[in-house]
Amino acid sequence: MNTPLLEIKHLQKRYPIYGPLGKLFPPKTHMKAVADVSLNLYEGETYGLVGESGCGKSTTGRSILGLVKPDSGEILYRGKDLTKLSDKEFRPLRRDLQMVFQDTLSSLNPRSRIGALLEEPLIVQGMGNPEERRQKVLEILKMVGLAEDHYFRYPHELSGGQVQRLGIARALIINPKLIVCDEPVSALDVSIQSQILNTLTTLQKEMNVALLFISHDIGVVRYISDRIGVMYLGTLVEESSTDELFANTLHPYTKALFSSIPDFKKKEKKVSLSGELPQYTDEFKGCVFHTRCPHACDRCREIAPVLTEVCPGHKVACHLINQ
């Protein structure tokens, strides 16, 4: 394959857990939000990151934009390590890297009009003169399916779907190379969700931008992604192209995850997971999934498996399959 647009190498983020006296003493232990995640993103592709809440998918996405400072690891974009940049050095790169949030409304200044909100990224990046900027804003409004007369409205006047369109417009207006979409359709009703997904995919093809699509909704991720990474407890447990992943599911967690999605037909017997997510602290040993895995053996409890390629483009981290 060609060279990746963005490379994440051994990304790690830990949060300290303090004892009863707080920061007076050094932390008792650390909680791993992201433990050793490596993935590549290619130009124009959609990479879906799925997992349950607390598995570190948002932390991974946010570290790309520098919104979370990782403890170790590298994020390479065009040969530059994003984790080592100062805020000032980062700013020009945000022209290429943008983000769409789940709750866009709270990420917008409630006292700015939509026209001004959309113009802001252009001003920050120093693009065009006022007239050109105005033209660009009107153009992007139309592209995402909003009307020109939204220009002088305030964000609170929009419905949930329209606000999400505005969020997409704000990310797209400076022609980025990569957009991190953190649960962009999770808060929307299904009829609105399909409208937004269609808009997003059409615009992506038109502008050739790569998407890192973070979601817990497997149906949506399957629909939109070229490749999918499945995360569990801060670790990437399986990665593959979408069709391959669904045709040939390997990791026991992925299998359980897929079978627990309620389908329209009543299924007779399903692989059901018992228990809940354990705490992933420094003391945790072995495979992240061993506490809930039906096939766990002694080796799984001791040694953490490494993400290995089992067939072209399909990587799994599981002792039973890697043998």
Partner 1 sequence: MNTNDKFKSLEPLLEIKNLKVQFPSRKKMLTAVDGVNLTIKPGEIVGVVGESGSGKSVMSQSILRLREYDSAVKYEGEILFEGKNILQLSQSEMRTIRGNRISVIFQDPMTSLSPVHTVGKQLSEVLILHKKMSKQQAKERCLELLSLTGIPNPENCFKKYPYELSGGMQQRVMIAMALACEPKLLIADEPTTALDVTIQEQILNLISELNEKLGMSVLFITHDLGAMAQLCHSVRVMYLGNLVEEAETQTLFEHPLHPYTQGLLSCIPRLDSERGRPLHVISGVVPPLSAVPEGCHFCTRCPYADDVCRTQNPPSVEAEANHFVKCWNYISREEVK
Q: Which residue has the tokens 């020009």?
A: 92
* Smallest distance from partner 1 to CB 234, Å: 15
Residue 226-265 contact track with partner 1, rule CB under 8 A, x = bound? ----------------xx--x---------xxx-xxxxxx
What order do you get walking across the sheet with 227-232 strand by strand?
Answer: 97-100, 178-182, 210-215, 46-50, 227-232, 235-241, 314-316, 308-311
Return the bridge partners of 212, or none: 47, 180
Cα distances from 183 to residues 180, 192, 215, 231, in angstroms, run: 9, 14, 5, 15
* Range 44-103, binding partner 1 (CB under 8 A): 52-53
* DSSP reduced 3-state for 124: helix
The helix or strand, by DSSP H or E, that contains position 141, with its residue range, turns out to be helix 130-143
Nearer to partner 1, 69 or 265 (CB): 265
Give the residue with the Cβ less far from partner 1, 271 or 311: 271
- Binding-residue total with partner 1 (CB under 8 A): 41
Question: Least CB distance from residue 258 to partner 1, whole Å?
Answer: 7
Task: State in angstroms the smallest separation of the CB of 248 from partner 1.
Answer: 15
287: amino acid identity, one letter: C
By CB under 8 A, residue 154 contacts partner 1: no
Spatial contact of 53 and 216, defined as CB atoms under 8 Å apart: yes
Contact flag: residue 266 with partner 1 (CB under 8 A):
yes
Closer residue to partner 1, CB minimum distance, 208 or 260: 260
24 touches partner 1 by CB under 8 A: no
Tell which residue, 240, 207, 208, has the closest CA to residue 225. Answer: 240
Examine residue 308 and tell whether it contacts partner 1 (CB under 8 A). no
Candidates 68, 93, 116, 197; binder of partner 1 (CB under 8 A) is: 197
- Judged by beta carbon, residue 133 or residue 292, the one nearer partner 1 is 292
Nearer to partner 1, 122 or 141 (CB): 141
Q: What share of the chain is helix, strand, coil (3-state, %, to 5)?
A: 35, 25, 40
Site string for partner 1, 288-307 (x = CB under 8 A): --------------------
Residue 189 interacts with partner 1 (CB under 8 A): yes or no: yes
Distances (CA, A) of 39 to 79, 166, 212, 218, 238: 15, 29, 11, 19, 11
Restricted to residues 156-185, the positions that interact with partner 1 (CB under 8 A) are 159, 161
- Dihedral of alpha carbons 24, 29, 32, 35, sign: positive
Closer residue to partner 1 in complex, CB, 23/267 = 267
**Interatomic CA distance for residues 120 and 118, integer angstroms:** 5
Closest CA to 122 of 85, 172, 165, 87: 172
Interacting residue ranges for partner 1, rule: CB under 8 A: 52-53, 159, 161, 189-195, 197-198, 201-202, 216, 218-220, 222-224, 242-243, 246, 256-258, 260-266, 270, 272-274, 276-277
